[in-house]
């Protein structure tokens, strides 16, 4: 749905909607999948300590990824709100 933007503001909005939002959603999905993979790996391999450790590692890094994504998303919205209030 690429359309011709008339102003710089419309161009920035178009780039945000068409490029950054899908990329952000992809990163959220990847972090959630790593977390869920870790949970499944941890639960399925209760007798194998090495695979449980791998599952714990995936859970940890999935949670770190989700936390970072939520924090960055919040900071971006604060910045957008601040900039739009300056007008």
Please say whether the beta carbons of 28 and 4 come within 8 A: no
Give the per-residue pLDDT at 7: 77
Q: Which of 19, 12, 55, 18 is nearest to 35 (CA)?
A: 55
CA 16/CA 9 separation, integer angstroms? 11
Give the per-residue pLDDT at 81: 82
Hey, CA dihedral for 44, 48, 52, 54, is it positive or negative? Answer: negative
Q: Which of 64, 8, 55 is nearest to 31 (CA)?
A: 64
Give the per-residue pLDDT at 1: 55
Which residues of the chain are modeled with pLDDT < 50? none
In the numeric block, which tokens belong to residue 25?
């959603």
């Amino acid at each position: 749905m690429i359309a011709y933007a008339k102003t710089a503001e419309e161009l920035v909005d178009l780039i945000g909607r068409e490029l950054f939002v899908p990329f952000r959603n992809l990163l959220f999905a990847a972090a959630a999948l790593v977390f869920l993979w870790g949970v499944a790996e941890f639960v399925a391999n209760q007798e194998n300590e090495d695979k449980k450790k791998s599952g714990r590692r995936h859970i940890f890094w999935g949670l770190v990824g989700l936390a970072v994504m939520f924090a960055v998303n919040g900071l971006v919205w604060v910045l957008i709100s601040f900039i739009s209030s300056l007008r």
